Amino acid sequence: MSHTPQSPTQRVTIPLVQQWKEEGRRIAMTTAYDAVAARIADPIVDIILVGDSVGNVCLGFDNTLPVSVSMINHHLEAVARTRPRALLIADMPFLSFHVSREETIRNAGGFLQRGADAVKLEGGANRLDMVRALVDCEIPVMGHLGLTPQSVNVMGGFKVQGRTATDAFRLLEDAHRLEEAGCFALVLEGIPAELAARATEILKIPTIGIGAGLGCSGQVLVFHDVVGLTDGKTPKFVRAYSNGFQLMQEALSRWATDVRDGTFPRGQESYRLPDALKELVANWTPHEPTSGS
Ligand code: KIV
């Protein structure tokens, strides 16, 4: 099984990710919301994102808007306890970087104190102030442009962005300004491949695409999408490499059948009493209640 061209123990840092862009080594990033996914992904990918997609992927919400700072804290702490070698990024949820510079710094700083190496936030020109405030406090920021899920209401649904001249030029301008503001990398989501390729060309920092074609410095997909744990329809840019949902149901179904057939557990899956106790336990009976009790 081929895992990664990189050493699976090498600690991934921001300068290393930036060097990979210069060298043309493509970057693989996925999400993890708990310690299990983090342990599976860590020896393989370069970047782990505790994404606000936890809201729709794991918590049953329709979109990412209800996700709060404390929810991200909870999931980030679980991932961080595994001490990943991959670069660990925490997503800034809706309203966590909009109200004031102070609140933004406290929320993002809290993520770093819980083990994140950097934060990611959605938005372009309207978020430059917050990006600068974070960078000023030595908090590394990954930008996120294009189909930004927190703007679902403004976009009128999850729709491909950057298809008109105005939108395409605005995206290139935003990408350039986010780089100038100090972002160390940029996620480009749900935009035409040619536009993502042009952004990648004009920027020094790496771009990580999702539904943005092959011309980015790397790719990100949600963990559950890659391993086929997503139940229902997935966007056209998703490629599932396993049918995790079905495989897990098959395993559970075989176990439930064994339970019902009485073939689980076997002797070797059970604990035994010491010989000296067996007869005593076998002959034990409850005390007769004494009168009045
Ligand atoms: O929350 C998330 O999972 C994301 C990635 C899809 C980039 O933002």
pLDDT digits (tens, 9 = 90+) for 123-153: 999 999 999 999 999 999 999 999 999 999 9
Asked whether 192 and 213 are in contact (CB, 8 A), the reply is yes
The DSSP letter of residue 286 is: P
With a CB cutoff of 8 Å and minimum separation 6, the contacts of 103 are 96, 97
Assess whether 189 carries a catalytic annotation: yes
Give the pLDDT confidence score for residue 156 in this predicted structure.
95
User: Measured in angstroms, how far is the CA atom of residue 286 from the centroid of ligand 1?
Assistant: 59
Domains of the chain by start residue, with CATH: 14-226 (3.20.20.60)
pLDDT digits (tens, 9 = 90+) for 225-274: 999 998 788 999 999 999 999 999 999 999 999 999 999 999 999 999 99
- What is the radius of gyration, based on Cα positions, of the chain? 25
Asked whether 185 and 143 are in contact (CB, 8 A), the reply is yes
Catalytic residue among 23, 103, 180, 189: 189
- What pLDDT band is residue 185 in, cutting at 50, 70 and 90? very high
Give the pLDDT confidence score for residue 176 in this predicted structure.
98
Give the pLDDT confidence score for residue 193 in this predicted structure.
98
User: Measured in angstroms, how far is the CA atom of residue 145 from the centroid of ligand 1?
Assistant: 11
Minimal-distance CA residue to ligand 1 atom 4: 51
